[in-house]
Amino acid sequence: MNPEKVVFGFFIVLALTLNFGFFVGEIDNPEHHHVWELFVVVLVNLVATVLKFGDRTHMGALLLATSLVAMLQLIGAALIWTIAVHATEAGMTPAVMASIVSLSGGAMIANVVSVVLLVIETFTLRR
């Protein structure tokens, strides 16, 4: 057992589950999507991304890439949230919420890909 793989597996699965938690609910209802959840998702994803730094293998590079994609979308979502609430007159509208949630949905797919890659790597371990 490789402790590094355990820690990374933990964080990537945690990122996926938290992301799902933020994502579920009516897409344009701000009541269903909590800002704390988005904060924790961004945090856990950041940790998962940094954990893949310096992994030279093909699989490691792919996992870093998917984590970066998820990061990109989540930071986009956080930015939209911030701009909508603090820099526009209208504030949080259902349309803005919908785009935030759909961005986090995209990030979730990237996280699903990460987890699938992880599972494939586990299955290809030679006995």
Partner 1 sequence: MDNVVYLIMRRMRTPLLVLIGTYAVAMAGMVVIPAQDAAGHPVPTSFFHAFYFVSYMSTTIGFGELPNAFTDAQRIWVSFSVFATVAVWLYAIGTLITLLQDTTFQRAILESRFRRRVRRLREPFYLVCGYGQTGTALVRSLTDRHQRAVAIDIDPQRVNLLKLDNLREYVPSLCADARQPSSLEDAGLRHPLCKGVVALTNVNETNLKIAIAAKLLHPEITVICRADSHEVEANMASFGTDHIYDPFDTFALDMAIAIQSPCLALLSKWLAGYEDQSLDAPIFPPAEGRWVLCGFGRFGKAMYRHLREQGLDLTVIEALPHKTGIPKEGVVHGRGTEAVTLEQAGIGDAVGLVAGTDSDADNLSIIMTALALNRTLFVVARQNHRYNKLLFERVGAQVVMMPSNIIADRIRVRLGTPLLGDLMALARDREDEWACELVSRVVALVDEYAPHVWEIRIDEIEAPALCALDRRGISVSVEQLTRDPRDRDRVLPLIVLLRMDDEERELLPAPDVRVRSGDRLLLCGRADASRTLTWTLRNLNVLDYVLTGNAAPGGLVWRWLARRRARGV
Binding site for partner 1 (CB under 8 A): 1-4, 35, 39, 43, 46-47, 50-51, 53-57, 59-60, 78, 81-82, 85-86, 125-127
As measured in angstroms, the least distance from the Cβ of 23 to partner 1 is 18
As measured in angstroms, the least distance from the Cβ of 49 to partner 1 is 9
> Is 29 or 122 the residue whose CB approaches partner 1 more closely?
122
As measured in angstroms, the least distance from the Cβ of 2 to partner 1 is 5
Cα-only R_g, the chain: 16
> Is 1 or 90 the residue whose CB approaches partner 1 more closely?
1
> Is 41 or 69 the residue whose CB approaches partner 1 more closely?
41
As measured in angstroms, the least distance from the Cβ of 111 to partner 1 is 18
Asked if 78 and 42 touch (Cβ cutoff 8 Å), the reply is yes
Contacts of 32 (CB under 8 A, 6+ apart): 24, 25, 26
Angstrom CA distances, 16 to 66, 79, 83, 86, 90, stand at 12, 20, 25, 28, 31
Nearest by Cα to 66 from 25, 120, 28: 120
